[in-house]
Structure 1
Amino acid sequence: MRIFGRTVDDQTRCVHYHTEEDVIAIKFRCCLRYYPCHLCHEEESDHKLQTWPGSRWAEPAVLCGVCECEMSILAYLATTLCPSCGVRFNERCAAHTHFYFQTT
């Protein structure tokens, strides 16, 4: 799976977010490309980001950087662990969900 952005390893960490638990990439609705974060998208894309509407949260749009499991937005938001390999995701990412998913 190709990950766009300024990654620093093969588990989707980037120059902006690179802790042990920063191991997801998000498929951006506007371009359907996986990026590690909204800052990577902003730096590399030539368009504004679009958030995923709640009506499309069942679609696969989150990628585990450890095992490459694609999960739906609903599945990702419901857990802090990858449903496939069990790696822990960064719980602080919840503060950034409004960049990716429509929350209102």
Structure 2
Amino acid sequence: MIKVWGQSVGETGTCRHYHSELDVVAQQCAGCQRYYACYQCHDELENHVFQPASTSAGKPVLCGACQTLLTYEEYQLGVCPTCQHPFNPGCALHHDRYFQ
């Protein structure tokens, strides 16, 4: 099981900042390589700011519902290709924080 870092992380990767049933995605920081529930959790717990992953990076996304590592392309489907759990469409508002 891959650890999802953050504050008040729930069973599916929700955190104190984002905690709807759709907030199950953890993003990998390109700097420390840890999967965080959100960039805010990362920035509150680390001594560096969240560094976005390249869209061509290996598997920078983790589905908290089933623990599947995803490529950027798989994440863009809006649902996990393994368990079909939907992702929060509002995350698109933070695209530039997570990907470059």
Alignment TM-score > 0.5, same fold: yes
The aligned residue for residue 47 of structure 2 is 46
Query: Which runs of structure 1 show a deviation greater than 3 angstroms over 4 or more consecutive aligned residues?
Result: none
Structure 2 gaps, min length 5: none
Check conservation: 1:58, 1:74, Cα contact below 8 A: no
**Take 1:28 and 1:93, find their aligned partners in 2: how far apart are those partners?**
16
Give SS of 2:44's match: helix
| CA RMSD in angstroms, aligned pairs only | 1.1
The aligned residue for residue 31 of structure 1 is 32
**Take 2:87 and 2:81, find their aligned partners in 1: how far apart are those partners?**
11
The aligned residue for residue 3 of structure 1 is 4
Structure 1 gaps, min length 5: none
Q: 1:86 aligned to 2:87?
A: no
TM-score by length of 2: 0.92
Percent identity over paired residues: 38
TM-score by length of 1: 0.89
Tell me how many residue pairs correspond in the alignment. 99
Shift of 1:82: 0.4
